[in-house]
């Protein structure tokens, strides 16, 4: 809720994607994020809700944001995501 409060004058709501837990929706403005989460199979409260992160979206996010870095991380022994 800290992010939603910090940016309440700029954004109506905040979406947080955690690759291992799912998607969180937060708002402080008059936006019912529980309605948004229900569209994606989730539930929650007016200002704080969540939904599952579909495997297809998770894979797309990983490829989009980490795909180019994957080989570099392997070579350096860094942390890497192992898909199923």
Distance CA 11, CA 36 (A): 15
- Whether residue 42 sits in one domain with residue 7: yes
Domain count, the chain: 2
CATH number at residue 23: 3.10.310.30
Question: Is residue 62 packed enough to be buried (19+ CB in 10 Å), middle (13-18) or exposed (0-12)?
Answer: middle
- Whether residue 64 sits in one domain with residue 81: yes
- The pTM of the full predicted model, rounded to 2 decimals, is 0.70
Is the pLDDT at 26 greater than 70? The verdict is yes
pLDDT digits (tens, 9 = 90+) for 38-69: 999 999 999 999 999 999 988 888 888 877 66
Extract the tokens encoding 45: 């409260």
The predicted pLDDT at position 50 comes to 98
- Whether residue 1 sits in one domain with residue 34: yes
- Whether residue 46 sits in one domain with residue 8: yes
The predicted pLDDT at position 66 comes to 79
The predicted pLDDT at position 63 comes to 86
Is the pLDDT at 34 greater than 60? The verdict is yes
Question: What is the average pLDDT value for the chain, to the nearest integer?
Answer: 84
């Amino acid at each position: 809720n800290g992010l939603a409060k910090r940016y309440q004058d700029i954004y109506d709501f905040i979406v947080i994607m955690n690759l291992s837990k799912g998607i969180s929706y937060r708002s402080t403005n008059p936006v019912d994020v529980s309605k948004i989460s229900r569209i994606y199979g989730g539930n929650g409260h007016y200002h704080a809700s969540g939904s599952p992160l579909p495997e297809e979206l998770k894979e797309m996010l990983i490829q989009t944001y980490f795909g180019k870095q994957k080989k570099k991380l392997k070579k350096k022994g860094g942390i890497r995501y192992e898909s199923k």
